[in-house]
Amino acid sequence: MGRRSGVLEFAVLGLLHDAPMHGYELRKRLNILLGTFRALSYGTLYPCLKNLVAQGFLVEDNPDVEYVPATALNGKRSKTVYRLSPEGKQRFEELLADSGPDAWEDEHFGVHFAFFGQTDRAVRMRVLEGRRSRLEERLERMRNSLARARERFDDYTIELQRHGLESVEREVRWLNELIETERANRTGRTGPATGANPAAHPKTSDGRGRETGSSDPSGPPYDRPGRSAQER
């Protein structure tokens, strides 16, 4: 299974874990939940649903109704309602417990974060710390690249690279706040709330030996995949 299809499988199982729904409603929820799937079509979703049914992870409540995609002309929608089977619930729990390197990557991290409310705290910590470690490695490469670019490229190319560097730095600061909050909650202390008054946030390390205060109110990067789920 490809990386993108694996992300979609996880998202579908997670949404259906909350409640059964038909394909049209599921597609709307996916488009709201996952920024990376805003262009999701029935041509992408329907094969995924059928594959999950074939694997025994989903059950179709109306399997005899022919699937007809909604269009502006016919106005029809699928009548089939999908729900998780016991095997599907177990599969979702397995995916939820995954804290390996795949969970730190851009697409996977957004989906994992969207379901953090159902995730064990120890798993959340491993995913957050793994994501931070991955981004710190990326920062090192980007800084080296920017240093070389100053000698070879024009001002606009350098500015674009600097913009990308600052976006990653913002996400590292955001991850530091989340990790600090998780640790504070685990020990019974009150940690900084994400999105709260920046002046109330203590300084944290950005993972590179420097302190970062909360003077930057930008919070998580604007293009973070799991953002809409956190805002719901």
Q: Render pLDDT for 26-35 as a digit per residue (tens, 0 to 9).
A: 988 888 877 6
Nearest to 176 by CA among 156, 190, 191, 187: 191
Q: Greater confidence, 213 or 55?
A: 55
Question: Residue 186 — pLDDT band, cuts 50, 70, 90?
Answer: confident
Tokens read off for 36: 């990376």
Q: Exposed e or buried b for every residue in 94-112, given b needs 16+ CB within 10 A?
A: ebbebbeeebbeebbbbbb
Q: What is the pLDDT of residue 195?
A: 45
Q: Which of 18-27, 111-120, 167-176, 180-189 has the lowest mean pLDDT?
A: 180-189
Residue 126 has pLDDT above 90, yes or no: yes
Question: Among all chains, which residue has been given the structure tokens 């946030």?
Answer: 201
Q: What is the pLDDT of residue 5?
A: 66
Per-residue pLDDT of 47-93, as tens digits, reads 999 999 999 999 998 755 544 554 444 455 557 899 999 999 999 99
Q: What is the pLDDT of residue 179?
A: 96
Question: Is 156 buried (19+), middle (13-18) or exposed (0-12) by CB count in 10 A?
Answer: exposed
The proportion of the chain whose per-residue pLDDT surpasses 90, expressed as a percent, equals: 40
Question: Residue 161 — pLDDT band, cuts 50, 70, 90?
Answer: confident
Residue 6 has pLDDT above 60, yes or no: yes
Q: Which helix (H) or strand (E) holds 58?
A: strand 58-60
Q: Which helix (H) or strand (E) holds 21?
A: strand 21-22
The proportion of the chain whose per-residue pLDDT surpasses 70, expressed as a percent, equals: 67
Q: What is the pLDDT of residue 41?
A: 60
Residue 196 has pLDDT above 50, yes or no: no
Nearest to 21 by CA among 47, 58, 69, 65: 58
